[in-house]
Structure 1
Amino acid sequence: MFGISPLGWIHTLGSLPAIPVAFYMFVRYGRIVPRSVPGVVYFVSMVIGAVTAFLVAHEPVGYVIGAVTLLFLLAGYGVGRLPGLGRAAHYIETVCLSLSTFLLMLPTVTEILRRVPDGHPLVTDLHAPLLVGSQAGLLVLLVVGLTAQIIHLRRQGRLSARPGRR
């Protein structure tokens, strides 16, 4: 079905939980929160997706996306454990994990448009206007989302820095 190999299904189904979990955390917390139950689900699902991308990718860009996703994911989950970064750790964590979500959604949208409906996909060319527009929309969503997250983090920092606040 959809021309997906058994390994491709493992890749797809393994990384699929990251999408609703990321959406939930963005709505609930305004960002991905690594030290939470949904954060653990996101991490495991993203690692499965990124690692198996190396096994299912047919284009060199797939390997790059897998490697960069792992890099952002590990940086986002690891930066909070580094001493001496203070509030900067929250910013780095937020940016890295938002970029990991973008790198999840970019090939997801591309593959959906290139495979659905089965046998007669919406897009057959990587330069099709629908595909390029969808990818551009994801980029706009990333820029707007990161801007909102950084503003939110700055406001939180100012509120916690006020005298009499804890």
Structure 2
Amino acid sequence: MFGITPVGWIHTLGSLPAIPLAGYMFVRHGRIVPRSAPGVAYLVAMLTGAVTAFLVAKQPVSYGFGAVTILLLLAGYGVGHMPIFGRSGRYLEAIFLTMTVFLLMLPAATETLRRVPDGHPLVTDPHAPLLVGTQSGLLICLVIGLTVQIISLRRQARDVAHANHEAVIAE
């Protein structure tokens, strides 16, 4: 079915939960929250997909996507534990982990369009307008999403600083 091998199904079904988990965290928290139950589940699903990408890859770019995804996951989940980054750690965490969502969605959308419906895919040419439009739309979503997250994190930091200042004045 869809020309997917058993290892390909493990890759696909293993990484698939990352999509609704990321969506849930974006809606609920405005970003991926690594130190939460959904955040841990997201990490497991993303690592499953990224590691198995090396087993199913047919193009050199797939190896790059897998390697960069793993690096961004490690950086995104680790930066919050490194006090050297200070306040910028939250921004880096958001950027790194949001990039992993993009690196999941780009090949997921591309492969879906190139395989579905089975036997008569929507896209057969890598330069097809539907495929290029979908990929461009994902890039636009990434830029807008990162911008919104950075603004939101700045507002949260400002609100905390303001609340702390008010508490000091009240004492």
Do both proteins adopt the same fold according to a TM-score greater than 0.5, normalized to the shorter chain? yes
What are the superposed Cα offsets for residues 11-59 of structure 1, whole Å, 9 maximum, x if unpaired? 0000000000000000000000000000000000000000000010100
Match of 1:123 in 2: 123
Match of 1:49 in 2: 49
What are the superposed Cα offsets for residues 111-151 of structure 1, whole Å, 9 maximum, x if unpaired? 00000001000001111110000000000000000000000
Q: Does residue 164 of structure 1 match 2:166?
A: yes
Structure 1 unaligned segments of length 5 or more: list them. Answer: none
**Following TM superposition, by how much is the alpha carbon of 1:87 offset from its aligned partner in structure 2, in angstroms?**
1.2
User: Greater helix share, 1 or 2?
Assistant: 2
User: Which structure 1 residue ranges, 4+ long, deviate > 2 Å from structure 2?
Assistant: none
**Following TM superposition, by how much is the alpha carbon of 1:76 offset from its aligned partner in structure 2, in angstroms?**
0.2
Report the residue type matching 1:19 in the other structure. Answer: I
**Following TM superposition, by how much is the alpha carbon of 1:164 offset from its aligned partner in structure 2, in angstroms?**
2.4
Match of 2:105 in 1: 105
RMSD: 1.0
Q: Does residue 77 of structure 1 match 2:80?
A: no
Structure 2 unaligned segments of length 5 or more: list them. Answer: none
**Following TM superposition, by how much is the alpha carbon of 1:83 offset from its aligned partner in structure 2, in angstroms?**
1.8
Match of 2:88 in 1: 88
Cα distance change of structure 1 residues 126 and 90 upon mapping to structure 2, 3 Å threshold: same
Identity of aligned residues (%): 69
Q: Is the 8 A contact 1:15 1:45 kept in 2?
A: yes
CA distance in 2, matches of 1:41, 1:119: 33
Q: Which moved more, 1:22-31 or 1:77-86?
A: 77-86
Match of 1:9 in 2: 9
CA distance in 1, matches of 2:100, 2:77: 11
Length-normalised TM-score, structure 2: 0.95
Q: Is the 8 A contact 1:159 1:165 kept in 2?
A: no
CA distance in 2, matches of 1:108, 1:147: 23
CA distance in 2, matches of 1:129, 1:61: 21
Length-normalised TM-score, structure 1: 0.98
